[in-house]
Structure 1
Amino acid sequence: MHPDGYFALVLDPPSAEILQRRFCTLPRPLAHHCTLRYGTKNPADLPPPFTASDLGRTFTLAVTGYARRDDGGVEAVVVGLLLADGRLLEHGFTENAIPHVTVATDGVTEPATANDLLRAGFERIAGPLLLARLEHTWASSSQEDPRGA
């Protein structure tokens, strides 16, 4: 984990449960957050459309895709950011090429490998809406439960 942590849209518990129930097929459930900017604690580093004044606000994410690695190492959902005017922003609001939430791993594979998985392709779906709060965090997938619960 980077010493400065990262900014993320952290799922509320009901949204994490929805992902785990609907998409988790692997032994290590995660379904915790969508990373926005890694390796910083400076709110000025937030990607657009976010600003420092958005910290602590709740946003809506729409699940638009799903992928599971053939060997069962990692699975993730692709998400878009639902804007106040109703438009769905599918790219550019995170530093990741494909905005996503890592749903689960096999317990050995690093969650960050979801980036490679999704770049290789994913199934487009019309999935659920999720609620997530913009936070700065140091939560790590190497912890037993990234929510600290």
Structure 2
Amino acid sequence: MPLKLKGKIYKSVIRPVVLYGSEYWAVKKTDEKRLHVAGMRMLRWMCGVTRMDKVRNEYIRGSLKVAPVTEKLKGNRLSWYGHVKRRDETHVTKAVMNLHVDGWRGRGRPKKRWMDCVRTDMKEKGVDDSMTGDRTEWKKKTCCADPK
């Protein structure tokens, strides 16, 4: 089977399964690393390459014309964030996103929240809240397209 076809199968079947529901995940660095490793393991297997062959990840992704899983994860998260920000104020998802819970957090390092992930993703992509109103511009800035 040609590599181009294998890349298309990966993009249309495997990656959506791996990233199902990823819009709502508060992903830690270790989780991102696990996703990256699992994705690369599948890509290496599809190419018939082992780690012992010492072929770089970029070369494998380039030959299959596939973007990194972690970049797609960030793109999905920002896409969902823009979608929710464009909803009307009475919608339940917007209400939950703007919800403030009274109380205090326990001792120690704060748990990573979804909004923390969104903020770091927006900082990486160079976008801010004011850009969410224009859907086409938001998608152009935040989407991670696969290489051609």
- Structure of larger gyration radius: 2
Bigger proportion of residues as helix: 2
Give the TM-score normalised by the residue count of structure 1: 0.23
